[in-house]
C-alpha cells in the first residue's frame, strides 16, 4: 500500500485566470506565483492551487476538466459571523451558513459561497 500524507496541490480549470487570481488573492489572501511556461498557482499554507485556463489545459489533465465543477473547503481564520460580514461588505453572497459541519479533524462552522467560475467554496471555521 502507498500511504498518502498530505495534499500538495490541486488543479482548477477556470474561464478567466486573472479574475480567479483576483478573487482568491483578495478574499482568501492566497499568493499568486508563476512557474514553468507561463503557468499560475495560488499558494496558501503548504499547498497550492494550479490554474488551467479552460480549453488550454496542461497535459496530463483530468478526463473532463470544466470550470465550475469543483467543491472546495478551506480552513480560515476568524469567526463565521465576522467573515460573513466581510463577505457581505465585499458584495459576495453567502449561499448557506453559518452551519455546523464535520471537517477532517473535527467540528467546524461553515459558510458557503461561489467563486467566479461557480465552484462551491466552503469556508470552515474550527469550533
User: How long is the chain?
Assistant: 127
Query: From CA 112, how far away is CA 95, in angstroms rounded?
Result: 5
What CA–CA distances, in Å, run from 41 to 9, 32, 89, 123? 9, 6, 27, 20
Neighbours of 102 (CB within 10 A): 10
- Catalytically active residues are 122
Amino acid at each position: 500500500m502507498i500511504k498518502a500524507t498530505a495534499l500538495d496541490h490541486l488543479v482548477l480549470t477556470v474561464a478567466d485566470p486573472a479574475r480567479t487570481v483576483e478573487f482568491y488573492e483578495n478574499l482568501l489572501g492566497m499568493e499568486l506565483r508563476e512557474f514553468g511556461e507561463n503557468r499560475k498557482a495560488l499558494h496558501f499554507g503548504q499547498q497550492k492551487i494550479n490554474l488551467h485556463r479552460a480549453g488550454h489545459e496542461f497535459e496530463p489533465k483530468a478526463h473532463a476538466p470544466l470550470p465550475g465543477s469543483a467543491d472546495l473547503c478551506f480552513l480560515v481564520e476568524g469567526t463565521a459571523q465576522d467573515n460573513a460580514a466581510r463577505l457581505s461588505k465585499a458584495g459576495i453572497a453567502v449561499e448557506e451558513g453559518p452551519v455546523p459541519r464535520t471537517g477532517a479533524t473535527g467540528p467546524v462552522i461553515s459558510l458557503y459561497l461561489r467563486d467566479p467560475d461557480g465552484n462551491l467554496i466552503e469556508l470552515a471555521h474550527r469550533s
